A and B are shown apart, each in its own frame.
Chain A
Amino acid sequence: AQSVAQPEDQVNVAEGNPLTVKCTYSVSGNPYLFWYVQYPNRGLQFLLKYITGDNLVKGSYGFEAEFNKSQTSFHLKKPSALVSDSALYFCAVIPRSTGFQKLVFGTGTRLLVSP
């Protein structure tokens, strides 16, 4: 079965410090990988994706993610956190076998950045 795990329900970090939000996946083959962010009472906003190529992917708002095939991980990172980064973050995959837009989401990680 295809699944995505976000092992931390919440991540707390001080403003200016680096942040990491973890994601591992269990999907056959090489999936397409995504990170989305959700602010209160809003839909999801696309941050970045990994399709192929360089393992370090750069995205919106200074976020980046590192793809590690051997560990089946796709951790989200940012060198210096902002209070405005506080939100709910979702990792998601699309198995290449489907070819369609069926995103399989993790359970989400709430990021809290303190001033």
Chain B
Amino acid sequence: KAGVTQTPRYLIKTRGQQVTLSCSPISGHRSVSWYQQTPGQGLQFLFEYFSETQRNKGNFPGRFSGRQFSNSRSEMNVSTLELGDSALYLCASSPRGGNQPQHFGDGTRLSIL
């Protein structure tokens, strides 16, 4: 069974631009979560989607948004990029959420110039 696939793996943007990251969960998984990983703040939860609905949201500004499609694939969007948005963005999936272990992709490394 294929794992969680995130595209692209690397991305370079400049301040003020916007970016869209993509995540394909493991087949059959309906819960998709996003996390931001930085050296300073560590791993922080962004949001979780289940059956195309956002179920939970972390403490990030409204510039960070996401969505989930009917095939469970998910995208996250960051608008008006700031230098501090440089990070590794990780997507994770699980069959139904709750206390089930999450399976992580290898992430998208976003660098803001």
A contact set with B: CB distance below 8 Å = 32, 34, 36, 41-46, 49, 51, 90, 92, 94, 96, 98-108
Contacts and interface: CB of A to CB of B under 8 A. Distances in A.
Closest 3 CB pairs of A and B: A43-B104, A105-B43, A32-B99
A53 B42 CA distance: 30
17 contacts: A36-B104, A43-B6, A43-B90, A43-B92, A43-B104, A44-B102, A51-B99, A92-B43, A96-B99, A100-B48, A101-B56, A101-B98, A102-B33, A102-B56, A104-B45, A105-B44, A108-B42
Most chain A C-beta atoms within 10 Å of own C-beta, residue among B31, B45, B55? B45
Contact of B94 (A32, A45, A101, A102): A101
| Main DSSP-derived SS at the B contact region | strand
Given A100-B48, A101-B33, A102-B45, A41 B106 contact: yes
User: What range describes how many residues of B lie at the interface?
Assistant: 20 to 34
A44 B90 contact: yes
B106 A98 contact: no
Nearest to A6: B42
Contact of B104 (A45, A98, A107): A45
Contacts of B104: 36, 43-45
Contacts of A43: 4, 6, 90, 92, 104-107
